[in-house]
Structure 1
Amino acid sequence: MAGLPIPATGRRVLSAAAGALLTGLLIAGCGGGDGATAASPSATPRPETGGGAGGTTAASNTSVLSHSVPVKISIPKIGVSAPVGQIGLRTDGRIEEPPLSRPNLAGWYKEGVTPGEVGPSVILGHVDANGKPAVFYRLKDLKPGDKIQVGRKDGTTAAFAVQRAQRVDKDAFPHEKVFGETLDHASLRLVTCGGAFDPKAGHYTDNLIVYAALAGA
């Protein structure tokens, strides 16, 4: 697979190896593993509400921000206040994941743009870890209009509004739309696991993706 398209703002190219393997990138990266239980959000319906992933009027009327790495994410609606680390590609071409030993740590995919820059910025988080809720356990509860704030290293905050949520089978993960879509505005995608936990495979059957657009800074 060729590298995905990038806008003129200078987004780094998603590598061909990552693009080819993104359908499995979150198998371990969403939690589950040791001690995943039925308490995980496995019975929720597939949500797909609000506008398309391409952005909103509010986003198109909002100035984008300069490059600055994220250090914290806050989602008041679901009680998230968590540090954000950086994740990249492993030697086998797969996406790294936040360690299960730090269930409240989210991971920003550092090969993409920083939150607030033009383009899709992606933050991953576990849904659970060792049988207990993790940082994105309640991601499924977000609705269009809910606020997400990402604190950045330069002291600024990128504020986003949720557009929609999408649950997809892991084998049909829309990696090009999530990681490589060409946009003219700043977008944020939060990714975790959903669906039922498959104890034989050791991971959840689905991925949950929340799409948001920059609402202010």
Structure 2
Amino acid sequence: MPERTPFLRSAHAAGRRALAAAAGVLLSALLLTACGGDDGGGDDPPVVPAAASPSAAATAQKARRDAAPMSESLPKTIKIDKIGVSAPVSQIGLRPDGRIEEPPLSRPDLTGWYKEGVTPGEAGPSVILGHVDAGKKAAVFYRLKELKAGDLIQVVRQDGSTATFAVQRLQSVDKDAFPHQKVFGEEIDYSSLRLVTCGGAFDAGTGHYKENLIAFAKLVQPA
């Protein structure tokens, strides 16, 4: 990816943030419906734990300093030591029907970065999706529900740098009320990462989970 001057990098990122915001409004609520899909779901559908208390979250965040946004660079791998994740990152966009693409169920270890948004580490929200299970086996984000405020997420980028994020909070939402604008198009001046997977109860009738689980994280200085 060619280098840009700071001004051009900023303008380019701003343009992609605006595009992501517009697309976020149009994204179907059927986000990541295929978690489990026709494969019947996992043996043990994930349960979202109670969110960390505000005081606990604040203490965890104070332990790490916020980092200045990084320049543009495509993501290669994502690592979350707390839950044993080390996975490649592919690129996903929108389908013709307006739904977001998702990693194939045949690749349960694969995550997908929403390419219409900023790259992880740039100012603004970047989004990475992954399945919770596939073929009745745990997939890449099966243990996402175990993350707590302050846990670290690392995204290794093509320029050799690593963007380190600290979890701020988890949010479980009904798929029919997915906060598209908040996740994909929120206007922020810092670098944020949002991880999305399926959660809640598994509906055997539809073959899908009823909820999405979202992990919100913020770029921090590496330890």
Q: If the length of structure 2 is used for normalisation, what is the TM-score?
A: 0.84
Residue 215 to residue 158, structure 1, CA distance change in 2 (3 Å) = same
Residue 154 to residue 49, structure 1, CA distance change in 2 (3 Å) = farther
2:190 to 172, 177, 185: 185
Q: 1:156 — aligned with what?
A: 161
- Paired residues for 1:2-151 under 5 Å: 9-12=13-16, 13-14=19-20, 16=22, 19-28=25-34, 30-41=35-46, 43-45=47-49, 47=51, 50=54, 61-151=66-156
Determine the C-alpha separation between the residues in 2 that align with 1:110 and 1:58.
Answer: 31
Q: 1:210 — aligned with what?
A: 215
Task: Could you tell me which runs of 5 or more consecutive residues in structure 1 were left unpaired when the two chains were aligned.
Answer: 1-6
Q: Flag the structure with larger Rg.
A: 2
Contact 1:60–1:185 (CA<8 Å) still a contact in 2?
Answer: no
Paired residue type of 2:186: E
Determine the C-alpha separation between the residues in 1 that align with 2:53 and 2:20.
Answer: 27
Residue 199 to residue 48, structure 1, CA distance change in 2 (3 Å) = farther
Determine the C-alpha separation between the residues in 2 that align with 1:146 and 1:17.
Answer: 29
Paired residue type of 1:146: D
Secondary structure at the aligned position of 2:27 is classed as helix
Paired residue type of 2:153: I
Residue 101 to residue 34, structure 1, CA distance change in 2 (3 Å) = same
Deviation at 1:14, TM superposition (A): 2.6
Secondary structure at the aligned position of 1:83 is classed as strand
Residue 18 to residue 184, structure 1, CA distance change in 2 (3 Å) = closer
1:176 to 177, 181, 185: 181
Aligned residues: 206
Deviation at 1:200, TM superposition (A): 1.2
Q: Deviations over 1:108-147 (max 9, x none)?
A: 0000000000000000000000110000000000000000
Paired residue type of 2:129: L
Paired residue type of 2:181: E
Residue 69 to residue 31, structure 1, CA distance change in 2 (3 Å) = farther
Q: Deviations over 1:130-185 (max 9, x none)?
A: 11000000000000000000000111000000000000111111110000000010
Deviation at 1:37, TM superposition (A): 3.6
Paired residue type of 2:209: Y
Instruction: Indicate the RMSD between aligned Cα atoms, in angstroms.
Output: 2.3
Residue 46 to residue 196, structure 1, CA distance change in 2 (3 Å) = farther
Determine the C-alpha separation between the residues in 1 that align with 2:177 and 2:52.
Answer: 15
Contact 1:59–1:213 (CA<8 Å) still a contact in 2?
Answer: no
Contact 1:36–1:131 (CA<8 Å) still a contact in 2?
Answer: yes
Residue 149 to residue 201, structure 1, CA distance change in 2 (3 Å) = same
Bigger share in helix:
2
Residue 20 to residue 68, structure 1, CA distance change in 2 (3 Å) = same
- Percent identical among aligned pairs is 63
Secondary structure at the aligned position of 1:10 is classed as helix
Determine the C-alpha separation between the residues in 2 that align with 1:157 and 1:73.
Answer: 9
Deviation at 1:91, TM superposition (A): 1.4
Paired residue type of 1:69: L
